Structure 1
């Protein structure tokens, strides 16, 4: 199946976090536009996750350690590790999840 990012409808998954989502049988990709000040509450999930900061400054806490990430930074998040974040500026993030994030379908 083929997609064009510009034609994928955006979903507001949580306040200020707008995602364009693509799913396959075993993985999901989420292209996020994140408003300045938007927060992702602490949570954990069974999915392995890779986060890529494409634009902006994103404060991210992973397993109790907080760092600010900038464009080009990539974070690998193991399954079941608690994590949270806040957009210090408007951000564009790319998340890849395996297995598929069924709750984002």
Structure 2
């Protein structure tokens, strides 16, 4: 299967994702428009965020950092986080357990 063959869904304004679900995790392949905002939130899922292209600013537990291609961030379960796409971005997230809300 090609990632480009997975149906794309806009989950938040400017955040368009393609999702692969297994029995225990979800992989999200995001295309994010520059300037798009990820509101402050938390969830039960553990998450890793890897920047593939672009520059993304993430605030995790009150600490803000900018992430560029090749960087990865680990977000623990229930940790508050928010973000902003500084440029157009491609980001890959892995969530465990499965993101039922992304199905």
SS in 2 for 1:6: helix
Q: Counterparts of 1:36-75 in structure 2 under 5 Å?
A: 36-75=34-73
Q: State the distance in 1 between where 2:93 and 2:30 align.
A: 8
From 2, 5, 11, give the equivalent of 2:9.
Answer: 11
Give the match for residue 92 of structure 2.
94
Unaligned 5+ runs, structure 1: none
Match of 1:32 among 30, 33, 37: 30
Q: Structure 2 CA distance, aligned partners of 1:72 and 1:6?
A: 21
Residue 80 of structure 2 is matched in structure 1 by: 82
Distance in 1 (CA, whole Å) between partners of 2:92 and 2:3 is 12
- In the TM superposition, what is the alpha-carbon distance from 1:6 to its structure 2 partner? 1.5
Residue 19 of structure 1 and its aligned partner are, at CA, apart by 0.1
Alpha-carbon distance in structure 2 between the residues aligned to 1:6 and 1:18: 12
Secondary structure at the counterpart of residue 81 of structure 1: coil
Secondary structure, in 3 states, of the residue corresponding to 1:13? strand
- The alignment's TM-score, normalised by the length of structure 1, stands at 0.97
Per the TM alignment, residue 4 of structure 1 is displaced from its structure 2 partner at its CA by 1.8
